[in-house]
Chain A
Amino acid sequence: MAKYVQEIGEVSKVKLHGHIDASIAPELMNEMKDLIARKDEIKKLVFFADELEYVASAGIRAVVFAKQKIGANVQVYLVGASDVILDVFKLTGIDKFLTIQDKFEG
């Protein structure tokens, strides 16, 4: 059972949660690879981050990987991230490539 990917379909949902440090991030990256393998089904990719407490570069890389591989036509969302988490995405400049929302509005 996937730890992060909740649903793969037209609107694919990934629930980021807890601490995603370098010891944990390989699990997220593996799930991103499984998700990308079905990228033809996906029109929107939503990362829910309301329960994400910590993310370092290894976790950011998994999001960048997904954004790079999923195709330019797929809109990628980051939803519900706290100011602390948003700060990390802004530090790396990744926020510019994501649609940031407090609640998923589609």
Chain B
Amino acid sequence: MMYCKEFSTGREVLPQILNEITEIITMYFKDPVIINRLKIAVEEILVNIFDYSGSDKVYVSCGYLEYENALRMEFVDEGELYNPLEKDTEVDINDEIDDRQIGGLGIFLYTTIMDEMAYNSDDGKNHLIAVKKLQ
């Protein structure tokens, strides 16, 4: 099954997108911890796009890659070109609590949760691709 949909950008659409993506995720993953982690990764990716890209739309696609036995999600926006994977996450989970940075936690989470992440802007749009392999 391939899911592909366009949304306006804004935190108010998060619950709808998360509900719809979670339906796809649960078709392939059964462990509640993994399902929750993937939901968090989707949210963190979207929030970064909403807050920083300047785009008023985001395209979300999600589907199973049989040859990789993996779930592939892609997020496309037409905002300012920016590769979040080049950003230092600034998060060290061994830091003392008082040294913890408030920013960067979202990128840290989705890069930790996903097995593969990739970015390209070949067509002048931001494409962020996130892959999670089925165990």
Chain A: number of interface residues, binned into ranges: 20 to 34
In the complex, A86→B80 CA distance in Å?
A: 36
Query: Interface majority SS on B: helix, strand, loop or mixed?
Result: helix
Nearest A residue to B94 via CB reads A93
Say yes or no: is B102 at the interface (Cβ < 8 Å to chain A).
Answer: yes
- Provide the bound-state CA to CA distance between A21 and B15, in Å: 8
Q: Give the interface of A toward B (CB within 8 A).
A: 19, 21-23, 54, 56-58, 60-61, 64-65, 67-68, 83-84, 87-88, 91-94, 97
Interface string of B31-58 (1 = CB under 8 A from A): 0110011011001100100000000000
- Contact surface of B with A, Cβ cutoff 8 Å: 11-12, 14-15, 18, 32-33, 36-37, 39-40, 43-44, 47, 91, 93-95, 97-98, 100, 102, 105-106, 108-109, 112-113
- Beyond A19-B15, A21-B18, A23-B11, is A92–B36 a contact (Cβ under 8 Å)? no
